[in-house]
Amino acid sequence: MPADGDQAVGGESAEIEMIPKAHPVCRVGNVARRFFPPCKQAGLSGRCMQLQGFHHVAIICSDYSRSKWFYTQVLGLTIIAETYRASRQSYKLDLALPDGSQIELFSFPCPPARVNNPEALGLRHLAFGVADLAAAVAELQSKGMAVEPVRIDELTGKRFTFFADPDGLPLELYEG
């Protein structure tokens, strides 16, 4: 008998297993799967780290004024704080997204160029969720931004597109 709050999870031919409701469910078609923290999947006991989401993403730019304009005027991010660090000859601009996550924009004298092609290890791109992709694309284009053709994510069926910041950092708009 399932415990209170448990849910049967499985497909038509899958064996049914009872999983506590405390774990998030992902549905693909008529199949529901619960996601467990990795330490639970590995059978480790004790408390798992409870990540709550992204706090910030840090970006180093080559032209501080141009990038500040792009992230505030083109993307509409809100300035939280702007600091000039004389000892580093560097600016740090803290920017807020509507969900509370942040971008830290840094300037440094003579930063090395970012490798874009071929793709290299590390951060591939930064994706922003939008409610209306067509409206977001039209807004970017009205501000002179080049935007790639809209594509469909073959795994989720969601629409998305790419554009770039002033230093060529790939940015994605993902319709949610």
Nearest to 32 by CA among 51, 17, 53: 17
Give the C-alpha separation, 44 to 135, whole Å: 46
Q: Which CATH code fits 115-176?
A: 3.10.180.10
Domain ranges of the chain: 6-41, 51-112, 115-176
DSSP-assigned states of every residue in 68-114:
HHIIIIIS-PEEEEEEEEGGGTEEEEEEE-TTS-EEEEEE-SSPPPP
Fold that domain 51-112 belongs to in CATH: 2,3-Dihydroxybiphenyl 1,2-Dioxygenase; domain 1 (3.10.180)
Full-model pTM = 0.71
pLDDT tens sequence for the chain (176 residues): 444 444 444 444 444 444 455 555 555 555 566 555 566 555 665 667 777 788 999 999 999 999 999 999 999 999 999 999 999 999 999 999 999 999 999 999 998 887 777 777 777 899 999 999 999 999 999 999 999 999 999 999 999 999 999 999 999 999 98
* 51-112 shares its CATH topology with 115-176: yes
Amino acid code (one letter) for 125: H
